[in-house]
Amino acid sequence: MAFRLIPREEKFYQDFLAIADELKHGARLLEEMLATDPPAWDKAEEIKEVEHKCDFLSHEVYQRLHRTFVTPLDREDIHALAGSLDDVMDEIDATAGYVSLYHVPVVRYGARELARIITDSTKAVRLAMGGLESRKGVSEPLVEINRLENEADRMHLEAVKKLLDEETDAILVFKWKEILDRLEDATDRCEDVADVIEGVVLKNS
């Protein structure tokens, strides 16, 4: 067994798991927000609190990275992982912000379906993060994240088409197009996390 004069700082893995747990929480709140007509606009404040917590956790990763001499992963990979995870929460928060700002009275087709896909994607992100340290059990959730992103693309296109075909109020079209785009963007950001994890695993296997 190799002897290390300076031990590696392994806490980064726990940091990533903590952020991934917050993503699941934020996604669940977004689903709850869109579950009713009208949406539960006050959920935007709860989601903003989760977003602030993710920002704090990401900042802690960056600060520890500057203080740590020996890291378990390449520094650029740690930075990319923290950043990509934080980006997911930013999109969830942005979606909730637009729903609250626009005060849409009724949740349109596609929004609840996309919110469910985001929740499932964050669950898969958490599973992948859970296997990152051991490099075991990572590939299956990564495949699932990519599948869910493809499902979100199809749902987004279908929802936008339905919106344009059925909605006659131009302002509501504008509002809902923005919300639907943001929902789909959140699944893209989950796929970005999957891409970073895949690169890390390949580099360190």
Q: Which domains does the chain have, with CATH numbers?
A: 11-204 (1.20.58.220)
**How many C-beta atoms lie closer than 10 Å to residue 102's C-beta?**
17
Query: Could you report the per-residue pLDDT of 15-43, keeping only the tens digit for each?
Result: 999 999 999 999 999 999 999 999 999 99
Is the alpha carbon torsion for 52, 54, 55, 57 positive or negative? positive
Query: Could you report the per-residue pLDDT of 127-166, keeping only the tens digit for each?
Result: 999 999 888 899 999 999 999 999 999 999 999 999 999 9
Rounded to an integer, the average pLDDT of 90-109 is: 97
Strands annotated E in the chain: none
3-state SS class at 35: coil
| Res 8: pLDDT | 61
Using the structure block, give the residue that is written with the tokens 């109020």.
Answer: 169
Grade residue 67 by pLDDT with cuts at 50, 70 and 90: confident
Whole-structure pTM over 0.85, yes or no? yes
CB 88 within 8 A of CB 193: yes
Spatial separation of the C-alpha atoms in residues 120 and 126, rounded to whole Å: 10
- CA contacts within 13 A on the Cβ side of 37: 7
Mean pLDDT taken over the chain? 94
Residue 4 predicted with pLDDT over 50: no
Rounded to an integer, the average pLDDT of 89-106 is: 97
Question: Comparing C-alpha atoms, which of 57, 41, 30 is closest to residue 185?
Answer: 30
